[in-house]
Amino acid sequence: MNSVSQRTIERLSLYRRRLMIELAEMDYIFSHQLAKISNSTAAQVRRDLMHLGYAGVPRKGYKIKDLIRCISQFLDPAKIENVVIVGVGNLGKALLTFFTGRRPKLSLVACFDIDENKVGTDIAGVPCFHLNEMPQKIKELKVNIGVISSTENATKAISEMMIAAGIKSIINFTCFPLNIADSENVFLEQIDITASFEKAAYFTKLNLKK
Amino acid sequence: MNSVSQRTIERLSLYRRRLMIELAEMDYIFSHQLAKISNSTAAQVRRDLMHLGYAGVPRKGYKIKDLIRCISQFLDPAKIENVVIVGVGNLGKALLTFFTGRRPKLSLVACFDIDENKVGTDIAGVPCFHLNEMPQKIKELKVNIGVISSTENATKAISEMMIAAGIKSIINFTCFPLNIADSENVFLEQIDITASFEKAAYFTKLNLKK
DNA sequence: TTTTATCTGTAAATAATTTCACAATTTTTT
DNA sequence: AAAAAATTGTGAAATTATTTACAGATAAAA
Ligand SMILES: NC(=O)c1ccc[n+]([C@@H]2O[C@H](COP(=O)([O-])OP(=O)(O)OC[C@H]3O[C@@H](n4cnc5c(N)ncnc54)[C@H](O)[C@@H]3O)[C@@H](O)[C@H]2O)c1
Ligand SMILES: NC(=O)c1ccc[n+]([C@@H]2O[C@H](COP(=O)([O-])OP(=O)(O)OC[C@H]3O[C@@H](n4cnc5c(N)ncnc54)[C@H](O)[C@@H]3O)[C@@H](O)[C@H]2O)c1
């Protein structure tokens, strides 16, 4: 299968969220309008939508309702995907609170920590177990997606546990850059907030010079 | 000025963090070693380091201490940059707790909210003011970098307030994609965690098909 | 119904980023 | 002191991503 680029997938995700808001206002949308509210260009939007096999109508644009359905069919899993979060500190708690119930096809079913004060409690309605129980829970609940928001030093061990238990995607928020062999066939998304802050500092310096 | 790409800046930020850890272990590092621990390639590392004007030694590699200093000189602001965070919910609190004291050249000096229960308190040691006070504080404290982690609907108004007050960089965590005119000369970093989750779901689906 | 205006879908061109490949350099070995 | 081995720095090639340009389509106007 000829996969679509990561950049395109990110934009489709954004388009859908923007379209959901527009749906209340209008029926059809032009590529240049969708571009405007998504910080993109009309050509980029049309290129991205090409992958969906959904055709817009010249002079009229895209029917928002159909387009949302089409993006959903393309992006979303057929069945609900169960997700687990490992490391329930400030960030883990923010993620749990934010995502619980937000994306209908992604269900946060469990979180894990080693802090005995957290184990056994519910966080944003999601039960927290000890890390030791993770492999079993992942198998039991058929979890394919794992999020790591533990302390940095635990990252590698957690990812190895996840992969051994059969996880197919890892979203890693720690500073520790994971290195997963291609042969494992695991999708890895590194979210490096520190780099974003340092980038902002660098471009601030540059902007001030101008 | 011929600026270095955002991708390169992100990698330099990561290299530095990795190098800080290696510093305890060894004096010199080869491009292929730095690549390994940064999830990159030797050629990419050498290309990125080219911008620094710091030369490695053939057969010996890069002197870690000097390389760190050189990346710091390149990336970091000359003086400490003051940073503010607007919207101190779960995510804002996580950011405040994590970054306070972590990057010596970035100082979180204030945060803002509209929730009267938060205004007047300290969060991770950082004073929380009402949003109304933001323009004055930004000017008073010479703040160039602003972070938005409010609710989505407030994003645009907050960014406009920031820009009017003289902010030079915005890091936006909300789902609302800001659109800032080039002429404003403001650096914008959108961090779209929702897109990362949906991307993971998409590539999970793809991986499962294989 | 015919014309006009404007939007879509996509081929081709352009731009940006990464990888390749190798001369130059330096250390280590002999 | 010379030869061998290994790594750097970078031009050139390859790859990936975005933008341009326009034929074809269709709605709205005449
Ligand atoms: N908070 C941020 O803004 C931010 C920014 C950039 C990066 N990060 C990264 O995200 C991660 C989490 O950040 P945070 O602010 O929530 O940190 P935190 O210290 O609040 O939380 C870490 C949690 O992980 C748990 N933990 C530690 N080892 C574990 C293990 N082996 N298994 C399971 N859980 C374990 C701890 O008990 C704690 O609850 C950190 O690694 C940090 O580097 C955070
Ligand atoms: N938490 C996550 O994992 C996550 C993931 C993706 C995106 N986001 C985005 O990040 C933002 C913050 O997330 P959160 O989980 O911290 O939400 P939250 O609801 O916990 O916090 C939002 C905070 O913003 C404050 N606020 C609202 N309007 C404001 C205004 N006009 N000025 C100043 N403050 C204002 C609220 O009082 C509250 O304290 C949200 O917009 C969300 O879309 C969060």
The distance of Cα B23 from the centroid of its chain, to the nearest Å, equals: 23
Contact B200 A171 (CB under 8 A): yes
The pLDDT tens digits of the residues spanning A26-37 come to 999 999 999 999
**Residues B182-194, mean pLDDT to the nearest whole number:** 95
Which pLDDT does position A22 carry in this prediction?
Answer: 96
Taking CB atoms and an 8 Å cutoff, what residues of chain A touch B144?
Answer: 204, 208
The pLDDT tens digits of the residues spanning A136-152 come to 999 999 999 999 999 99
Distances (CA, A) of A20 to A15, A141, B15, B178: 9, 30, 39, 17
> What is the value of pTM for the model shown?
0.97
Torsion of CA B106, B112, B113, B117, to 10 degrees: 100
Which pLDDT does position A210 carry in this prediction?
Answer: 66
The pLDDT tens digits of the residues spanning B94-129 come to 999 999 999 999 999 999 999 999 999 999 999 999
Residue A10 Cβ under 7 A from any strand D atom: no
Q: Return all residues near B61 (Cβ < 8 A) that are at least 6 apart.
A: B28, B29, B30, B31, B33
The pLDDT tens digits of the residues spanning A82-122 come to 999 999 999 999 999 999 999 999 999 999 999 999 999 99
State the count of interchain CB pairs (< 8 A) between A and B: 199
Q: Quick check: A50 pLDDT over 90?
A: yes
**Residues B154-161, mean pLDDT to the nearest whole number:** 97
Contact B201 A81 (CB under 8 A): yes
CATH topology of domain B81-196: Rossmann fold (3.40.50)
Q: Would you tell me which residues 87-146 of chain B have a C-beta closer than 8 angstroms to some C-beta of chain A?
A: 89-91, 93-95, 97-99, 102-103, 105-106, 144-145
Confidence of residue A209 (pLDDT cuts 50, 70, 90): confident
Q: Which nucleotides of D are covered by protein (CB under 7 A)?
A: 5-11, 16-21, 24-28
Crossing angle of helices B42-50 and B6-22, rounded to 10°: 110
**Pick from A100, A154, A166, A157: which is nearest to A127 by CA?**
A100
Q: B6-73 has which CATH code?
A: 1.10.10.10
User: E strands along A58-191, which residues?
Assistant: 62-63, 81-86, 106-113, 122-123, 126-130, 145-148, 169-172, 187-190
Q: How is residue A150 annotated by DSSP? A: S
Which pLDDT does position A45 carry in this prediction?
Answer: 98
- Give, in Å, how far the C1' of C19 lies from the CA of A88: 40
Sketch the domain layout of chain B as residue ranges: 6-73, 81-196
- Which residue is associated with the tokens 């388009």? A15
Instruction: Give dist(CA B130, CA B120) in Å, integer.
Output: 8
Q: Give the β-pairing of A81-86 and B145-148.
A: unpaired
Which pLDDT does position B97 carry in this prediction?
Answer: 98
Confidence of residue B3 (pLDDT cuts 50, 70, 90): confident
Nearest residue (CA) to ligand 1, atom 19: A89
Which pLDDT does position A13 carry in this prediction?
Answer: 98
Residues of chain B with pLDDT > 90, as a percent, come to 95
Q: Is residue B135 exposed (0-12), middle (13-18) or buried (19+ Cβ within 10 Å)?
A: middle
Q: What six digits make up the tokens of A192? A: 């490096």
Choice from A10, A85, A95, A98 to test ligand 2 binding pocket (greatest atom count within 8 A of CB): A98
Which pLDDT does position B1 carry in this prediction?
Answer: 46
Taking CB atoms and an 8 Å cutoff, what residues of chain A touch B97?
Answer: 90
Separation of CA A152 and ligand 1 centre (Å) = 7
Which pLDDT does position A2 carry in this prediction?
Answer: 65
Residue A36 Cβ under 7 A from any strand C atom: no
Which pLDDT does position A1 carry in this prediction?
Answer: 47
Element (H, E) at B106: strand B106-113
Mean pLDDT, chain A, whole residue set: 96
Nearest C-alpha of chain B: how many angstroms from A21? 11
